[in-house]
A and B are shown apart, each in its own frame.
Chain A
């Protein structure tokens, strides 16, 4: 145990480790905030679809050889969020099927592109790291870190300023709209913020595990807390805690960062679910 701690202390002297912790905590914080809304508005499917789209965009960016992949991935994901949302809402297109098509399609195209055009010798390794985020959080550049800090600050600011509106629209869209709140516009805002969070979170856990990072803390918090505010605050704490623990464990034990974080989230969920059952 002490040996592990001194190992940890050693690691903490490295810049890349500190960067990983800062970015990890910020991403975890942001991604937990909208988890409740995502679960309760039945937007989970959009989250899933978007993460696949982001994977596709990432592959394209990699193949084209963009140095700043964010510049492509972020706008593509945001635009897809807007499209997916408007398809989900009362249009004649069958929303579910369209979303499944887009998300699986993006996945296939992404993999194909990486396979055919990649110059790297380790294609499946590259694909794996985009999907599961294996080590990308430990190889962040200064630019990545700043992008991450700025986007997180934006997400946080939007969430705080629109907190009451997000609550009202999540709880009862029709009532909000009937009493003069622009529910459609706020839905759009929520979808765009979710897209930004997904792109951010891909750095930490890769595209396949993004939904888990967003949803698990909220689900855990909902087992114990009974007010919206309580759930939001609790899921933020859980998410940050799990990200810290997950990253530290993965550094010490050499496990993949993304899945370690998500498994930590899962463990917390199990504990909370148990407490929830016992309390009843």
Chain B
């Protein structure tokens, strides 16, 4: 039994199908990269995994004691967040909310967890700063720290390096890699950046309205589709 399993899943909106017949599984400790061109349905897949929307058919389910609300998530940035007045501390702490249940306020334990995760992400010194005044890379770390407060098991990241400069991109990849290798957190990442995907991921899922490849990274690199994609100038 895997941490996350997708069986014959079809994704889409209303009557339009976006991706058909997806099958894959994610095991504890995996680092799965989902690649594919724009509009191929990667974000749709992520939203379905998070139960933010329903699949058209088939099923996605969690296992091995992973509960649905234990999936941390790094969204593509939304408009609202850009002018939102919130301190780093407030945002990171809000990741602990699912541990509060009906209790209205955070306990000491949750505040410690928030502090711990800010240190892990190297943003402890930014605690009092305003989120909207941080650099793109710092903002992503804040959101990562929040996601880590919500889960210690599985992280979903939707194009986490979009809009970052090369240095911040490299640093963020290292941080994510460390979370996976050192802390044993299972990572599912959507990426345009095929070279980074091949470098860091243990598994690749390549979709383009239908699944083109799912398997280990070393097999992907040898496959037809993998070779075409990695050498076709798609990697940014």
Contacts and interface: CB of A to CB of B under 8 A. Distances in A.
Are A and B interaction partners? yes
Interface of A: 36, 40-42, 160-165, 167-168, 170-172, 174-181, 222, 225-231
The 3 closest A-B pairs by CB, nearest first: A180-B69, A226-B130, A227-B87
B80 interface: yes
Contacts of A168: 94, 97
How would you classify the secondary structure of chain A's contact residues: helix, strand, loop or mixed? helix
Contacts of B146: 175
B68 A227 contact: no
Given A174-B73, A222-B85, A164 B104 contact: yes
Contacts, number: 99
B183 interface: no
Interface of B: 47, 50-52, 67-73, 75, 78, 80-81, 83-87, 89-91, 94-95, 97-98, 100, 104-106, 128-130, 133, 146-147, 150-151
Given A163-B104, A226-B133, A229-B90, A176 B81 contact: no
A246 B128 CA distance: 35
Nearest to A230: B85
Nearest to A223: B85
Nearest to B79: A42
Nearest to B89: A227
Contacts of A178: 50-52, 69, 71, 73
Nearest to B47: A174
30 contacts: A36-B85, A161-B104, A163-B104, A164-B105, A168-B97, A171-B80, A171-B81, A171-B84, A174-B52, A174-B78, A175-B146, A177-B51, A177-B52, A178-B51, A178-B73, A179-B69, A179-B95, A179-B98, A179-B151, A180-B67, A180-B69, A181-B98, A226-B85, A226-B129, A226-B130, A227-B85, A227-B128, A227-B130, A229-B87, A231-B85
Contacts of A162: 104
Q: Give the one of B80, B97, B146, B147 with max A CB within 10 A.
A: B97
B231 to A, nearest CB: 35
Given A161-B104, A164-B104, A226-B133, A179 B86 contact: no
Nearest to A176: B97
A191 to B, nearest CB: 17
Contact of A228 (B75, B78, B87): B87
Contact of B80 (A41, A164, A222): A41
B97 A181 contact: yes
Nearest to A231: B85
Contacts of A40: 80, 83-84
